[in-house]
Structure 1
Amino acid sequence: MSHKTLPRTGPLLAGGDGLYGPIGRPGESGLALPQGFAGRVVARSGAKVAGLTWHAAPDGGACFPDGDGWIYVSNSELPLLGGASALRFRAGGDVIDAYRILSGTDLNRAGGATPWHTWLSCELGHRGRVFECDPYGVRAARPRLAMGRFRHEAAACDPERQVVYMTEGEPDGCLYRFRPGDWGDLTEGTLEVLCASGRWRPVPSPAALLRATRHQVEEARHFDGGDDCHYVGGVCYFTTRGDRGLWAYDAGGSTLERLCEGVRAVTAAPSGDLYVARDAGRARIDLVAPDRSVAPFLRLVGHDDVELTGPAFSPRGDRLCFSARRGRTEGLTFEVTGPFRA
């Protein structure tokens, strides 16, 4: 894999038809894709898939290796009943198993994968927690309380600096990073918040019993509703729901840049290409190439007022999974296959 990433500075530019050519006519599922790509629905909220009733309000997701196949994990943004479920795929794409990996938690909106193949499921509720889950369904999920009690949205691991970035779903939320005492063990560590100066400061009381974490450090920088985030190539990309922004925090240079508007979720292919899900009403995923050109990659036609969530690539980079949800009841989980570039 080439792992090309965006240049460190410069605006995002419209890129015409992009790397894969124009988008074609929608298929039976409503997916409109470039030539050579195909898509299908692999799970529907309220319907059985491999014996499991797929959850409502599918949100953040990630893929994990599983022998010749892979696993896709998806959160559920339901109050008190949220949690997360997993789909197990054979190498050819057949779904052979589905199971819960977390239950009885509150508003599990986004999250993030770790390099040691666990899933961090984040609660958006008041004094929300981060749960470390086993995508293979063997070990019970565990709360990681040292990572703070706040309205958690998403998490992204930076193996170079051995920290976990986290967003906060508040109108004046912060960008945090958790520095574990031992990389690979999230039970203990230091919670830090990004400040206006570009420096990180420790949060005095991550448990936030008396004062919210975002108000404990006076010089903390605030964002309008932190949302999804993804780390790749030395940069933590994150979105803000309130002002619909896509941001890039360059971890090496400690610089922050706002890249564009109207982005709901973000992921990266193994090639380093960014794929951004546009906010509600647009129902499309755009591709951001390393030269910073932006072009539509897929559209979802005939599904009004849906929100695209949980985009994630399979370990080999040849399949893209994501969900389309309408409120907290309806949801479809899709898989797209095709000649994604390496």
Structure 2
Amino acid sequence: MQRRHFLRLATLGGGTLALGSLAFWRHVYAAPPTLAPVGPYGPLAEAPDAHGLRLARGFTSRIIARGNEVVPGTRYTWHLAADGGACFAMPDGGWVYASNSEVTPDGGVSAVRFSAKGEVTDAYRILSGTHVNCAGGPTPWGTWLSCEEFPRGRVWECDPTRPGQGVPRPAMGAFVHEAVAVDPVGRRLYLTEDAQDGRFYRFTPAEWPSLETGTLEAARVTGDVLKGAKVEWVPVSPEVSASMQPAARDTTAFRGGEGCWYDGGVVYFTTKRDNRVWALTLLTGRLEVLYEAARYPGSPLAGVDNVTVSRAKELFVCEDGDDLQLCLLTPDRKVSPFLQVVGHPGSELAGAAFSPDGQRLYLSSQRGAGGRGVTYEVTGPFRTRAA
């Protein structure tokens, strides 16, 4: 893969460098989340649409691809078990949606290309021969980082703009990878580990933006995370999970790290075994639990998984199981459902990502439609500014 050593800061949907998140969240840290049966986009329809989605008024859906079927408008067969994904802007005004395949053997990553009008024009493979590609994350220079979720799994860097093969980045660690988020200001990457005693990692490249070499560290947390704790960083070997390294045993275990996303000086991530949504403010090193399901019986959000952020600074959190909702956590810490997939028992939602203009949302039901998976596009009046 030919690396592009320039920052394409406008390539990512969701306002990657909109520096508002820090200010928006700072003033609500002390306030607890509240449950909102009806969110800012209104109530969900009582009945699902033709594609099995319950949406708010003004929103519509279409199916982009189904697992093991040819993507309409192309000759490419879409992968099974679609998981993490992200959108990338193209010079002609179109965009690409990259999507992981959480299967083994030969999981990898596929991509679907859209015109400036949103028409599907192509689909192709950008990573092959890898295993259990779960989540990952986009980079500001326009590549997709695909994470392997198995012991000694790697991070692979892929070019989403054309068919090809990704490059492994072993300096970013060999463990049960889940997701990664890139801080373009501090020039570091943050990674989650999907294990009962997983760690939260930070990777500092030796020469930005190359990911070939660098320093890997694990978080050590002191203080009360429900009130605001402090994070220190402990160097660890990239050859094995930090939980297995004697020198890193005093680092903090996170119970099943899942989605991870950077926005405006804050890294958001989720942990599934305790159903928490976290926020790490990079400037201060403050770590906060924004939401914990156990503290709010009857909350619409459980089974937290992939996460992304809209231009309005809203956290969109996918559910693994529960009632298959995509839920919202707004800057005033109100929790509400945004959509629900109906008729896919045993599935999970994954890969939530916005198009570059913030007006289209992509996501997948990983094991829907007979266990093969379905990838959707939802279009509607998404807010592009925080209220």
Shared fold, TM over 0.5? yes
| SS of match in other structure, 2:58 | coil
Structure 1: gaps (5+ residues): none
Q: Which of the numbers 268, 272, 286 marks the counterpart of 2:327? A: 286
Range moving further from structure 2, 272-281 or 60-69:
272-281
| SS of match in other structure, 1:305 | coil
| SS of match in other structure, 1:93 | coil
Aligned to 2:115: 90
Match for 2:42: what amino acid? Answer: G
Match for 1:324: what amino acid? Answer: S
Aligned to 1:38: 60
- 1:211-230 equivalence runs, <5 A: 212-216=241-245, 217-230=248-261
Deviations 1:44-66 (A, max 9, x none): 00110111111111101000001
Q: Which of the numbers 73, 76, 80 marks the counterpart of 1:56? A: 80
Match for 2:117: what amino acid? Answer: G
CA distance in 1: counterparts of 2:333 and 2:152, whole angstroms:
37
Aligned to 1:13: 34
| SS of match in other structure, 2:152 | coil
| SS of match in other structure, 1:7 | helix
| SS of match in other structure, 1:196 | strand
Structure 2: gaps (5+ residues): 1-14, 223-230, 294-301
Aligned to 2:232: 199
| SS of match in other structure, 1:214 | helix
The percentage of aligned residue pairs carrying the same residue is 48
Deviations 1:290-335 (A, max 9, x none): 2111221111122222200010001110100000012894200000
Counting matched residue pairs gives: 338
CA distance in 1: counterparts of 2:176 and 2:318, whole angstroms:
22
Match for 2:179: what amino acid? Answer: A
Range moving further from structure 2, 11-20 or 179-188:
11-20
Q: Which of the numbers 328, 352, 360 marks the counterpart of 1:311? A: 352
Match for 2:242: what amino acid? Answer: T
Q: Which of the numbers 269, 283, 297 marks the counterpart of 2:338? A: 297
Aligned to 1:338: 380
- 1:209-288 equivalence runs, <5 A: 212-216=241-245, 217-258=248-289, 259-261=291-293, 262=302, 263-288=304-329
RMSD of aligned residue pairs (Cα, Å): 1.7
Aligned to 2:226: none
| SS of match in other structure, 1:206 | coil
Moved over 6 A (4+): none
Q: CA deviation at 1:228?
A: 1.2
CA distance in 1: counterparts of 2:177 and 2:102, whole angstroms:
12
1:144 to 2:162 alignment: no
Q: Is the 8 A contact 1:288 1:295 kept in 2?
A: yes
| SS of match in other structure, 1:172 | coil
Cα distance change of structure 1 residues 32 and 87 upon mapping to structure 2, 3 Å threshold: same
Q: Taking structure 2 as the reference length, what is the TM-score of the superposition?
A: 0.84
Match for 1:82: what amino acid? Answer: G
Deviations 1:121-157 (A, max 9, x none): 0011221110000001265311011111111110000
Q: Larger strand proportion, structure 1 or 2?
A: 1
Q: CA deviation at 1:278?
A: 2.3
Range moving further from structure 2, 17-26 or 119-128:
17-26
Aligned to 2:361: 320
Q: Taking structure 1 as the reference length, what is the TM-score of the superposition?
A: 0.94
Match for 1:234: what amino acid? Answer: G
CA distance in 1: counterparts of 2:20 and 2:221, whole angstroms:
29
Q: Is the 8 A contact 1:121 1:132 kept in 2?
A: yes
- 1:64-103 equivalence runs, <5 A: 64-66=88-90, 67-103=92-128
CA distance in 1: counterparts of 2:352 and 2:19, whole angstroms:
18
Q: CA deviation at 1:4?
A: 4.4
Q: Is the 8 A contact 1:130 1:152 kept in 2?
A: yes
